Amino acid sequence: MTRQEERIRARRRQRRRQARMVRRVVFGVCLFIILILCIYGHHNHKRVLSLQSEIDRLEQQLKKSKSDSNDLKKQLDELQKELEQKQQELDKKEAALYDDPNKPNVYMTFDDGPSSNTDTILDTLAANNIRATFFCIAQKGEANEKRYQRIVNEGHTIGMHSYTHEYGTVYASLESFEQDVTQISDYIFQMTGVRPKYYRFPGGSSNTVSKVPMKECIRYLNQSGLTYFDWNAQNDDATGKSYTASQLVEHAMKNVKMAGDNVVLLMHDEQTKTATAEALPTLIKRLKNAGYDILPITDKTPLVQHVSKDSVS
Ligand SMILES: [Zn+2]
Protein backbone atom coordinates (compact mmCIF):
# COMPACT_ATOMS: atom_id res chain seq x y z
CA MET A 1 0.00 0.00 0.00
CA THR A 2 1.32 3.34 -0.98
CA ARG A 3 1.35 6.38 1.27
CA GLN A 4 -1.14 7.90 -1.03
CA GLU A 5 -3.58 5.08 -0.43
CA GLU A 6 -2.98 5.21 3.34
CA ARG A 7 -3.82 8.89 3.38
CA ILE A 8 -7.00 8.24 1.42
CA ARG A 9 -8.03 5.48 3.83
CA ALA A 10 -7.26 7.62 6.86
CA ARG A 11 -9.41 10.42 5.40
CA ARG A 12 -12.23 7.96 4.74
CA ARG A 13 -12.07 6.65 8.34
CA GLN A 14 -12.12 10.21 9.58
CA ARG A 15 -15.19 11.00 7.42
CA ARG A 16 -16.92 7.87 8.66
CA ARG A 17 -16.17 8.93 12.26
CA GLN A 18 -17.48 12.39 11.52
CA ALA A 19 -20.61 10.91 9.91
CA ARG A 20 -21.18 8.67 13.00
CA MET A 21 -20.73 11.68 15.21
CA VAL A 22 -23.27 13.69 13.19
CA ARG A 23 -25.76 10.77 13.29
CA ARG A 24 -25.36 10.53 17.06
CA VAL A 25 -25.88 14.23 17.50
CA VAL A 26 -28.96 14.15 15.21
CA PHE A 27 -30.27 11.09 17.05
CA GLY A 28 -29.68 12.82 20.40
CA VAL A 29 -31.47 15.97 19.23
CA CYS A 30 -34.41 13.89 17.92
CA LEU A 31 -34.60 12.01 21.20
CA PHE A 32 -34.56 15.25 23.09
CA ILE A 33 -37.36 16.67 20.91
CA ILE A 34 -39.42 13.50 21.35
CA LEU A 35 -38.89 13.67 25.10
CA ILE A 36 -40.00 17.31 25.19
CA LEU A 37 -43.06 16.46 23.10
CA CYS A 38 -43.92 13.55 25.43
CA ILE A 39 -43.65 15.73 28.52
CA TYR A 40 -45.73 18.44 26.89
CA GLY A 41 -48.32 15.88 25.75
CA HIS A 42 -48.57 14.41 29.20
CA HIS A 43 -48.98 17.83 30.70
CA ASN A 44 -51.72 18.63 28.17
CA HIS A 45 -53.48 15.34 28.88
CA LYS A 46 -53.51 16.14 32.58
CA ARG A 47 -54.92 19.56 31.85
CA VAL A 48 -57.62 18.05 29.61
CA LEU A 49 -58.53 15.61 32.39
CA SER A 50 -58.78 18.37 34.94
CA LEU A 51 -60.90 20.47 32.56
CA GLN A 52 -63.16 17.47 31.97
CA SER A 53 -63.67 16.98 35.69
CA GLU A 54 -64.36 20.69 36.07
CA ILE A 55 -66.99 20.42 33.31
CA ASP A 56 -68.54 17.39 35.08
CA ARG A 57 -68.64 19.30 38.34
CA LEU A 58 -70.30 22.31 36.69
CA GLU A 59 -72.82 20.05 34.95
CA GLN A 60 -73.72 18.47 38.28
CA GLN A 61 -74.00 21.89 39.87
CA LEU A 62 -76.30 22.96 37.04
CA LYS A 63 -78.46 19.88 37.52
CA LYS A 64 -78.69 20.57 41.25
CA SER A 65 -79.50 24.23 40.60
CA LYS A 66 -82.23 23.14 38.23
CA SER A 67 -83.76 20.81 40.82
CA ASP A 68 -83.38 23.51 43.50
CA SER A 69 -85.12 25.98 41.26
CA ASN A 70 -87.90 23.44 40.64
CA ASP A 71 -88.32 23.05 44.41
CA LEU A 72 -88.42 26.81 44.82
CA LYS A 73 -90.97 27.11 42.05
CA LYS A 74 -93.12 24.49 43.76
CA GLN A 75 -92.85 26.35 47.08
CA LEU A 76 -93.69 29.60 45.34
CA ASP A 77 -96.75 28.02 43.72
CA GLU A 78 -97.89 26.71 47.09
CA LEU A 79 -97.43 30.13 48.70
CA GLN A 80 -99.30 31.72 45.82
CA LYS A 81 -102.19 29.30 46.34
CA GLU A 82 -102.20 29.98 50.09
CA LEU A 83 -102.23 33.71 49.43
CA GLU A 84 -105.16 33.39 47.04
CA GLN A 85 -107.05 31.32 49.62
CA LYS A 86 -106.38 33.92 52.35
CA GLN A 87 -107.47 36.70 49.99
CA GLN A 88 -110.71 34.83 49.30
CA GLU A 89 -111.32 34.43 53.03
CA LEU A 90 -110.61 38.11 53.54
CA ASP A 91 -112.97 39.07 50.70
CA LYS A 92 -115.63 36.88 52.28
CA LYS A 93 -115.13 38.57 55.66
CA GLU A 94 -115.22 41.99 54.08
CA ALA A 95 -118.36 41.10 52.15
CA ALA A 96 -119.97 40.05 55.45
CA LEU A 97 -119.25 43.53 56.81
CA TYR A 98 -120.53 45.40 53.78
CA ASP A 99 -123.40 47.68 54.64
CA ASP A 100 -125.58 48.44 51.64
CA PRO A 101 -126.89 51.98 52.29
CA ASN A 102 -130.13 51.11 50.52
CA LYS A 103 -130.92 48.21 52.81
CA PRO A 104 -132.19 48.22 56.41
CA ASN A 105 -129.82 46.68 58.97
CA VAL A 106 -130.36 44.00 61.57
CA TYR A 107 -127.73 43.58 64.28
CA MET A 108 -128.24 40.13 65.76
CA THR A 109 -127.13 40.03 69.39
CA PHE A 110 -126.78 36.98 71.63
CA ASP A 111 -126.78 37.52 75.41
CA ASP A 112 -125.74 35.38 78.38
CA GLY A 113 -123.28 33.09 76.58
CA PRO A 114 -121.16 31.29 75.89
CA SER A 115 -123.06 28.04 76.36
CA SER A 116 -123.53 24.58 74.90
CA ASN A 117 -125.49 26.29 72.08
CA THR A 118 -122.70 28.68 71.06
CA ASP A 119 -121.04 26.24 68.65
CA THR A 120 -124.29 25.57 66.79
CA ILE A 121 -124.95 29.31 66.54
CA LEU A 122 -121.39 29.96 65.30
CA ASP A 123 -121.65 27.11 62.76
CA THR A 124 -124.85 28.58 61.34
CA LEU A 125 -123.39 32.09 61.18
CA ALA A 126 -120.26 30.75 59.43
CA ALA A 127 -122.29 28.73 56.94
CA ASN A 128 -124.19 31.90 56.02
CA ASN A 129 -121.13 34.17 56.07
CA ILE A 130 -122.71 36.39 58.71
CA ARG A 131 -121.15 38.25 61.67
CA ALA A 132 -123.09 38.92 64.86
CA THR A 133 -122.51 40.27 68.36
CA PHE A 134 -122.16 38.23 71.54
CA PHE A 135 -122.70 39.97 74.88
CA CYS A 136 -120.97 37.53 77.17
CA ILE A 137 -120.93 36.86 80.87
CA ALA A 138 -118.26 34.92 82.76
CA GLN A 139 -119.01 31.31 81.95
CA LYS A 140 -116.51 28.80 83.29
CA GLY A 141 -115.24 25.40 82.16
CA GLU A 142 -112.83 24.43 79.43
CA ALA A 143 -115.43 24.12 76.66
CA ASN A 144 -116.86 27.57 77.36
CA GLU A 145 -113.44 29.12 77.69
CA LYS A 146 -112.65 28.01 74.13
CA ARG A 147 -115.91 29.52 72.84
CA TYR A 148 -114.90 33.09 73.70
CA GLN A 149 -111.87 32.68 71.46
CA ARG A 150 -113.91 31.09 68.69
CA ILE A 151 -116.34 34.03 68.73
CA VAL A 152 -113.43 36.42 68.22
CA ASN A 153 -111.58 34.22 65.71
CA GLU A 154 -114.63 34.00 63.48
CA GLY A 155 -114.92 37.78 63.24
CA HIS A 156 -117.87 38.42 65.55
CA THR A 157 -118.07 41.32 67.95
CA ILE A 158 -117.60 40.34 71.57
CA GLY A 159 -119.22 42.56 74.18
CA MET A 160 -119.80 42.49 77.95
CA HIS A 161 -123.02 41.59 79.73
CA SER A 162 -121.68 41.63 83.33
CA TYR A 163 -119.50 39.12 85.13
CA THR A 164 -122.11 37.37 87.29
CA HIS A 165 -125.44 38.41 85.71
CA GLU A 166 -126.84 38.38 89.26
CA TYR A 167 -128.90 41.55 89.45
CA GLY A 168 -128.54 41.66 93.24
CA THR A 169 -124.75 41.64 92.94
CA VAL A 170 -124.19 43.68 89.76
CA TYR A 171 -126.50 46.50 90.83
CA ALA A 172 -125.93 46.32 94.62
CA SER A 173 -124.06 49.63 94.54
CA LEU A 174 -122.24 51.80 92.04
CA GLU A 175 -119.01 50.42 93.41
CA SER A 176 -120.07 46.83 92.80
CA PHE A 177 -121.29 47.73 89.28
CA GLU A 178 -117.90 49.26 88.50
CA GLN A 179 -116.12 46.27 89.94
CA ASP A 180 -118.30 43.89 87.90
CA VAL A 181 -117.55 45.77 84.63
CA THR A 182 -113.83 45.59 85.35
CA GLN A 183 -114.08 41.87 86.13
CA ILE A 184 -115.89 40.93 82.92
CA SER A 185 -113.62 43.16 80.84
CA ASP A 186 -110.55 41.46 82.33
CA TYR A 187 -112.10 38.01 81.95
CA ILE A 188 -112.87 38.46 78.24
CA PHE A 189 -109.44 39.99 77.70
CA GLN A 190 -107.86 37.02 79.42
CA MET A 191 -109.87 34.57 77.26
CA THR A 192 -109.40 36.33 73.91
CA GLY A 193 -106.71 39.01 74.06
CA VAL A 194 -109.40 41.49 73.01
CA ARG A 195 -110.43 44.34 75.32
CA PRO A 196 -114.23 44.59 74.81
CA LYS A 197 -115.69 48.08 74.31
CA TYR A 198 -119.41 47.38 74.03
CA TYR A 199 -121.70 46.66 76.96
CA ARG A 200 -125.23 45.42 77.44
CA PHE A 201 -126.80 46.01 80.82
CA PRO A 202 -128.40 42.94 82.38
CA GLY A 203 -132.09 43.84 82.06
CA GLY A 204 -131.21 46.76 79.76
CA SER A 205 -130.52 50.41 80.61
CA SER A 206 -134.23 50.81 81.44
CA ASN A 207 -134.36 48.01 84.03
CA THR A 208 -136.19 48.69 87.27
CA VAL A 209 -134.40 46.16 89.43
CA SER A 210 -131.16 48.07 89.97
CA LYS A 211 -130.59 49.50 93.44
CA VAL A 212 -128.26 52.05 91.84
CA PRO A 213 -129.88 54.76 89.73
CA MET A 214 -129.14 53.58 86.17
CA LYS A 215 -127.93 57.06 85.23
CA GLU A 216 -124.98 56.54 87.57
CA CYS A 217 -124.09 53.30 85.83
CA ILE A 218 -124.47 55.02 82.44
CA ARG A 219 -122.23 57.88 83.60
CA TYR A 220 -119.58 55.35 84.61
CA LEU A 221 -119.69 53.65 81.18
CA ASN A 222 -119.58 57.05 79.41
CA GLN A 223 -116.55 58.06 81.44
CA SER A 224 -114.87 54.68 80.79
CA GLY A 225 -115.28 55.07 77.03
CA LEU A 226 -117.64 52.07 76.85
CA THR A 227 -120.68 52.06 74.58
CA TYR A 228 -123.82 50.24 75.62
CA PHE A 229 -126.48 48.86 73.32
CA ASP A 230 -130.02 47.94 74.30
CA TRP A 231 -132.40 46.47 71.72
CA ASN A 232 -135.49 47.43 69.78
CA ALA A 233 -136.58 43.93 68.73
CA GLN A 234 -136.39 40.46 70.21
CA ASN A 235 -137.30 36.91 69.30
CA ASP A 236 -139.06 36.51 72.67
CA ASP A 237 -136.82 33.64 73.81
CA ALA A 238 -136.59 35.13 77.32
CA THR A 239 -140.24 35.77 78.07
CA GLY A 240 -140.55 32.73 80.31
CA LYS A 241 -142.63 30.86 77.73
CA SER A 242 -141.02 28.05 75.77
CA TYR A 243 -141.61 28.81 72.12
CA THR A 244 -140.75 26.46 69.29
CA ALA A 245 -138.07 27.43 66.78
CA SER A 246 -140.63 28.42 64.14
CA GLN A 247 -142.57 30.53 66.67
CA LEU A 248 -139.35 32.32 67.59
CA VAL A 249 -138.74 33.08 63.89
CA GLU A 250 -142.24 34.52 63.50
CA HIS A 251 -141.85 36.67 66.63
CA ALA A 252 -138.45 37.93 65.52
CA MET A 253 -139.66 38.81 62.01
CA LYS A 254 -142.71 40.64 63.33
CA ASN A 255 -140.65 42.63 65.87
CA VAL A 256 -137.85 43.39 63.40
CA LYS A 257 -140.32 44.80 60.87
CA MET A 258 -141.86 47.02 63.56
CA ALA A 259 -138.45 48.36 64.61
CA GLY A 260 -137.63 50.22 61.39
CA ASP A 261 -134.35 50.39 59.44
CA ASN A 262 -131.84 50.08 62.28
CA VAL A 263 -132.70 46.99 64.28
CA VAL A 264 -130.83 45.59 67.25
CA LEU A 265 -132.32 42.16 67.74
CA LEU A 266 -132.06 40.57 71.20
CA MET A 267 -131.66 36.79 71.42
CA HIS A 268 -130.02 34.48 73.94
CA ASP A 269 -127.11 32.07 73.79
CA GLU A 270 -127.93 29.98 76.81
CA GLN A 271 -127.95 26.27 77.58
CA THR A 272 -131.76 26.04 77.87
CA LYS A 273 -132.45 28.12 74.75
CA THR A 274 -131.76 25.47 72.14
CA ALA A 275 -134.77 26.62 70.09
CA THR A 276 -133.02 29.95 69.42
CA ALA A 277 -130.05 28.12 67.89
CA GLU A 278 -132.41 25.86 65.95
CA ALA A 279 -134.37 28.84 64.62
CA LEU A 280 -131.29 30.67 63.36
CA PRO A 281 -130.91 29.19 59.83
CA THR A 282 -134.55 29.99 59.00
CA LEU A 283 -134.39 33.40 60.64
CA ILE A 284 -131.33 34.34 58.56
CA LYS A 285 -133.02 33.19 55.37
CA ARG A 286 -136.19 35.14 56.19
CA LEU A 287 -134.26 38.31 57.06
CA LYS A 288 -132.23 38.13 53.85
CA ASN A 289 -135.35 37.51 51.78
CA ALA A 290 -136.97 40.52 53.43
CA GLY A 291 -134.01 42.62 52.24
CA TYR A 292 -132.04 43.15 55.46
CA ASP A 293 -128.28 43.40 55.81
CA ILE A 294 -127.20 41.38 58.85
CA LEU A 295 -124.19 42.97 60.54
CA PRO A 296 -122.14 42.88 63.74
CA ILE A 297 -122.10 45.89 66.04
CA THR A 298 -119.21 48.25 65.29
CA ASP A 299 -118.38 51.89 66.04
CA LYS A 300 -120.48 52.82 63.00
CA THR A 301 -123.65 51.19 64.38
CA PRO A 302 -126.30 53.79 65.26
CA LEU A 303 -127.01 53.60 68.98
CA VAL A 304 -130.09 51.84 70.22
CA GLN A 305 -130.49 52.79 73.87
CA HIS A 306 -133.59 52.74 76.08
CA VAL A 307 -132.04 55.46 78.23
CA SER A 308 -129.82 57.64 76.06
CA LYS A 309 -126.22 58.13 77.07
CA ASP A 310 -126.72 61.82 76.37
CA SER A 311 -129.39 62.08 79.06
CA VAL A 312 -126.62 61.88 81.64
CA SER A 313 -124.48 64.92 82.35
ZN1 LIG B 1 -128.93 38.60 80.11
Nearest Cα to Cα of residue 212 among 237, 241, 191, 181: 181
16 or 260: which leads in pLDDT: 260
Q: Ligand 1 centroid vs 109 CA: distance in angstroms?
A: 11
Structure confidence at residue 94 (pLDDT): 86
Nearest Cα to Cα of residue 232 among 75, 83, 107, 94: 107
Q: Ligand 1 centroid vs 265 CA: distance in angstroms?
A: 13
> Rounded to 5 degrees, what angle do the CA atoms 106, 108, 110 make?
165
Q: Ligand 1 centroid vs 110 CA: distance in angstroms?
A: 9
266 or 10: which leads in pLDDT: 266
Q: What percentage of the chain reaches a pLDDT higher than 70?
A: 99
Task: With a cut of 80, say whether residue 1 has pLDDT above it.
Answer: no
- The H or E element containing residue 39 is helix 3-97
Structure confidence at residue 3 (pLDDT): 82
Q: Ligand 1 centroid vs 107 CA: distance in angstroms?
A: 17
Q: Phi/psi class of residue 159: alpha, beta or left (left: φ > 0; alpha: ψ in -120 to 50)?
A: beta
Q: Ligand 1 centroid vs 183 CA: distance in angstroms?
A: 16
Q: Ligand 1 centroid vs 112 CA: distance in angstroms?
A: 5
pLDDT tens by residue, 58-93: 999 999 989 899 999 999 999 999 999 999 988 888
Q: Ligand 1 centroid vs 116 CA: distance in angstroms?
A: 16
Structure confidence at residue 39 (pLDDT): 77
Task: With a cut of 80, say whether residue 21 has pLDDT above it.
Answer: yes
Task: With a cut of 80, say whether residue 30 has pLDDT above it.
Answer: no
Q: Ligand 1 centroid vs 169 CA: distance in angstroms?
A: 14
| Distance from C-alpha of 21 to C-alpha of 2, rounded to nearest angstrom | 29
Structure confidence at residue 38 (pLDDT): 65
> Rounded to 5 degrees, what angle do the CA atoms 276, 282, 284 make?
90
Q: Ligand 1 centroid vs 3 CA: distance in angstroms?
A: 156
Structure confidence at residue 43 (pLDDT): 80
Q: What is the mean pLDDT of the chain?
A: 94
Q: Ligand 1 centroid vs 299 CA: distance in angstroms?
A: 22
What is the pLDDT averaged over residues 108-118?
Answer: 98
Q: Ligand 1 centroid vs 174 CA: distance in angstroms?
A: 19
Task: Name the CA dihedral angle for 196, 201, 206, 210, rounded to a multiple of 10 degrees.
Answer: -140
What is the pLDDT averaged over residues 268-280?
Answer: 97
What is the pLDDT averaged over residues 151-176?
Answer: 97
Q: Ligand 1 centroid vs 52 CA: distance in angstroms?
A: 84
Q: Out of 29-43, 194-208, 231-245, 294-308, which region has the weakest mean confidence (pLDDT)?
A: 29-43
Structure confidence at residue 13 (pLDDT): 85
Q: Out of 81-90, 228-237, 255-264, which region has the weakest mean confidence (pLDDT)?
A: 81-90
The set of residues, in sequence order, having a beta carbon less than 8 Å from that of 151 and lying 6+ positions away, is 114, 118, 122, 134, 136, 158, 192
Q: Ligand 1 centroid vs 95 CA: distance in angstroms?
A: 30
Q: Ligand 1 centroid vs 203 CA: distance in angstroms?
A: 6
pLDDT tens by residue, 135-163: 999 999 999 999 999 999 999 999 999 99
Is pTM, for the whole model, over 0.75? yes
